[in-house]
């Protein structure tokens, strides 16, 4: 198999780090970005110049454009760009601070949009490429307590769905990876607003207590999820959406079925609003 060049954000831990490890182990070249490059020193010592590392905060749009251009120049081309950086806020919408709202949107949504926008001219100029946007089962369904997280994931899924159609003529393909609960550090990194007494016994409060108590079933194998995303990029016909894990497959399927049923139930009213 020919060597593939990858650009991946958010590689300090979790799925981003695992993808870097798997790709280097099979002989690919990787441009890895993260806030603290020293966290990849062990891999740089092991793999040398097959790993290119740069500091990047995806809320800095100028830095995004500069770093991805530098990576493209250093590696000669970028075959796959993985937009992985992100985090979650756990709490009722009313509990979140303005700063927490701004930060999750700037990272998960605007940061992802700007990374994709910066990648497009590079991929178009080289004749094509593949962009993997790490979304979540939460890009197609929702849980109470994760309203801000869902807002960013539903938002980036709509953006990618549209952009994929815009750039298809340039041989640029997209995959929205939608993992369910997976054994990474995501839960430990959740930002939690100060709880309000009014929400303690509501669904949002119950979900928060269950997560804090470790009572949420985590069935996703992080190594397998990372491998599945790599396999999607290897495919000659990669899927636009890829639910990863039984939990994701079931929750997304059930969510789509429920939404379709609601649309169909309103058919008579929907059709009645057209011009006679």
Active site residues: 135, 149, 153
Outline where the chain has alpha helix (H).
14-25, 41-47, 61-75, 98-104, 111-125, 147-167, 203-212, 222-234, 246-265, 267-272
- Is residue 245 packed enough to be buried (19+ CB in 10 Å), middle (13-18) or exposed (0-12)? buried
DSSP state, residue 217:
-
CB 193 within 8 A of CB 148: no
- SS3 category, 43: helix
Other Cβ atoms less than 10 A from the Cβ of 263: the count is: 9
Q: DSSP letter for 108, please.
A: I
Helix (H, G, I), strand (E, B) or coil at 248: helix
Q: Compute the Cα dihedral for 38, 40, 44, 50 and give only its sign.
A: negative
Residue 265 burial by CB count (10 A; 0-12/13-18/19+): exposed, middle or buried?
Answer: exposed
């Amino acid at each position: 198999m020919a060597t593939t060049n990858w650009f991946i954000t958010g590689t300090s831990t979790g799925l981003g780090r695992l993808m870097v490890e798997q790709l280097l182990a099979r002989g690919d070249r990787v441009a890895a970005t993260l806030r603290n490059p020293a966290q990849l020193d062990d891999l740089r010592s092991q793999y040398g110049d097959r790993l290119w590392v740069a500091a990047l905060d995806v809320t800095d749009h100028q830095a995004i454009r500069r770093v991805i251009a530098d990576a493209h120049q250093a590696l000669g081309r970028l075959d796959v760009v993985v937009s992985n950086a992100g985090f979650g806020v756990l709490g009722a919408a009313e509990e979140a601070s303005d700063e927490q709202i701004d930060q999750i949107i700037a990272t998960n949504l605007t940061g992802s949009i700007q990374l994709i926008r910066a990648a497009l001219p590079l991929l178009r100029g080289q004749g094509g490429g593949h962009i993997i946007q790490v979304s979540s089962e939460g890009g197609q369904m929702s849980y109470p307590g994760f309203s801000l997280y869902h807002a960013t994931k539903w938002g980036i899924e709509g953006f990618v769905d549209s952009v994929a159609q815009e750039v298809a003529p340039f041989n640029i393909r997209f995959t929205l990876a939608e993992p369910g609960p997976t054994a990474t550090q995501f839960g430990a990194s959740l930002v939690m607003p100060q709880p309000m007494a009014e929400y303690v016994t509501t669904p949002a409060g119950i979900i928060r207590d269950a997560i804090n108590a470790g009572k949420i079933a985590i069935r996703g194998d992080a190594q397998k999820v990372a491998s599945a995303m790599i396999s999607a990029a290897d495919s000659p016909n990669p899927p636009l959406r890829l639910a990863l894990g039984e939990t994701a497959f079931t929750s997304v399927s059930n969510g789509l079925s429920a939404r379709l049923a609601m649309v169909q139930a309103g058919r008579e009213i929907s059709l009645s609003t057209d011009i006679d």
